[in-house]
Structure 1
């Protein structure tokens, strides 16, 4: 059950675009364990980055029903915190200060919960994009979370640390590759590489969900009162990503593979009544997938 939401106001005057209202945390009580999704702020993206190449008339019909309009999108960034009484685990670390001025707010959300960086025992990355990984290091290139074990999918680590990636990823993502290689290289000696199906901690399992990036991972939490899957960017929005998961999205590196991953993930989560947590989904990102016609809809767990 979603037990509470604590809101903080966005400082919209600092930005040229209107800022959506930010929240500090949404909380899910799992009976003996607790999940909070913490706001790292939001991104400002060209709409074509996600919607480009999709059937224009159908896209407009879908996005209009969700109040999405114009040539820019402002998706929220939801960092997941799981506490089971022994472990304090963060899934992704947000952008840090070097990506976009509207993001990198994780420290403020942690402060609202009275949580310090020393409290975190584990950091688990879904993938290596800037809004998930660039909060890893401080200004001295030391890990922001000094006591935590850090983990990432083995295939994801190999991709971002491959010297050829920067030359093959495409000009629009060159900085993604440079930034990921530097950060992962700084912690490589103490970084756990995960494989598909591996048990990260008791009741926490890695699930390979590739396409958005080559080694993107989701994470299944199985020990609570309901099954939960942290999906990262395997489903990147609450409109076309659910209604037409089979459509190729410009935000994915392997568009066809990402689409097949979305379809399979939604089929499983709807059938098994899994609570999902999406990094860029609204209302704190916690909800369920419900069948709706030929596709699905996102139902926030409020």
Structure 2
């Protein structure tokens, strides 16, 4: 059964909000002379069906029990990666802004906790253009928030959301996503720089093609010398079923079979290269590593 926009909106409206007081707590790691910090944009409140609907219920049940998850409600963290190397202050995605969910949109407060303001951001690099990743581009007055930043997005992702036919083909559940993305992209049309998979978008930051969650989704390998971290965006979207059953199709992904292929590819790489991982919706700040777990994987939070 498909997830219609009406079902999504009704299901979300019926759910209580996540914690009323947002957390600005952060996780941080050093990468050579640079630092990567995750800053909170709050959390989402989602009906469990948004992810779980296509999954086999009998096999899903023990995973829900293992992770103490509700099949009715999920409240994933929203963790934006912030890279600082002494020259550039780079924010990966911009969060939800004031118009998506009351439980999200706290990025300005989280930056302030680090003694940073939006105008201190030199670059904004987008993984993709879903609402919790791009709607924070505009403030409550519909003006660009990161006024000093250079904006950067993968060419395929830009072309997909810019296409006027996307709103008609994306499906009812995500039609508002397309409208909202296009409106924000129009605000930066003359300032955005487009890149392709494999490009070094900034020194030490390379784009990695990770399609499926959206058609042009990008992850980023951030490397300083022999040390590297993968900023995965939503290519690895949670710490439970995505790890335990990476081959399962998720309702959160626009092209679910392609997204499953991408997850398996990333897990293989992260394990074989023992590379650190930053995930937008992973817990405790979203920084950790991947370990094998039977025929699946597990997320090992940064200690």
Q: Verify same fold: TM over 0.5.
A: yes
SS at match of 2:188: helix
Structure 2 residue aligned with 1:268: 269
Cα distance between partner residues in 2 of 1:120 and 1:193: 18
Match runs of 1:232-271 below 5 Å: 232-271=233-272
Contact kept, 8 Å, 1:23 with 1:284, in 2: the verdict is: no
How many pairs were matched up? 288
Contact kept, 8 Å, 1:128 with 1:160, in 2: the verdict is: yes
Structure 1 residue aligned with 2:5: none
Structure 1 residue aligned with 2:194: 193
SS at match of 1:277: strand
SS at match of 2:194: strand
Give the 3 Å change call, closer, same or farther, for CA 234–18 of structure 1 in structure 2. closer
Contact kept, 8 Å, 1:33 with 1:224, in 2: the verdict is: no
Alpha-carbon shift at residue 118 of structure 1 (Å)? 1.6
Alpha-carbon shift at residue 159 of structure 1 (Å)? 0.5
SS at match of 1:86: coil
Match runs of 1:52-71 below 5 Å: 52-71=53-72
Cα distance between partner residues in 2 of 1:275 and 1:112: 25
SS at match of 2:25: strand
Alpha-carbon shift at residue 269 of structure 1 (Å)? 0.5
Structure 2 residue aligned with 1:93: 94
Structure 2 residue aligned with 1:153: 154
Tell me the alpha carbon deviations over residues 120-178 of structure 1, each in whole angstroms, 9 at most, x when there is no partner: 10000000000000000123433211111000110000010100000110101111000
Cα distance between partner residues in 1 of 2:64 and 2:269: 25
Match runs of 1:65-84 below 5 Å: 65-84=66-85
Cα distance between partner residues in 2 of 1:101 and 1:18: 9
Tell me the alpha carbon deviations over residues 197-231 of structure 1, each in whole angstroms, 9 at most, x when there is no partner: 00011110011100000000000001156210100
Cα distance between partner residues in 2 of 1:220 and 1:28: 15
SS at match of 1:283: coil
Contact kept, 8 Å, 2:45 with 2:74, in 1: the verdict is: yes
Give the 3 Å change call, closer, same or farther, for CA 138–23 of structure 1 in structure 2. closer
TM-score by length of 1: 0.93
SS at match of 1:135: helix
The runs of 5 or more residues in structure 1 that have no matched partner are 1-14
Match runs of 1:1-302 below 5 Å: 16-19=16-19, 22-223=23-224, 226-302=227-303
Alpha-carbon shift at residue 70 of structure 1 (Å)? 3.8
Tell me the alpha carbon deviations over residues 224-262 of structure 1, each in whole angstroms, 9 at most, x when there is no partner: 562101000001100000111000000000000000000
Of residues 133-142 and 16-25 in structure 1, the stretch that sits farther from structure 2 once superposed is 16-25
Contact kept, 8 Å, 2:153 with 2:194, in 1: the verdict is: yes
The runs of 5 or more residues in structure 2 that have no matched partner are 1-14
Cα distance between partner residues in 2 of 1:193 and 1:163: 19
TM-score by length of 2: 0.92
SS at match of 2:95: coil
Alpha-carbon shift at residue 18 of structure 1 (Å)? 5.0
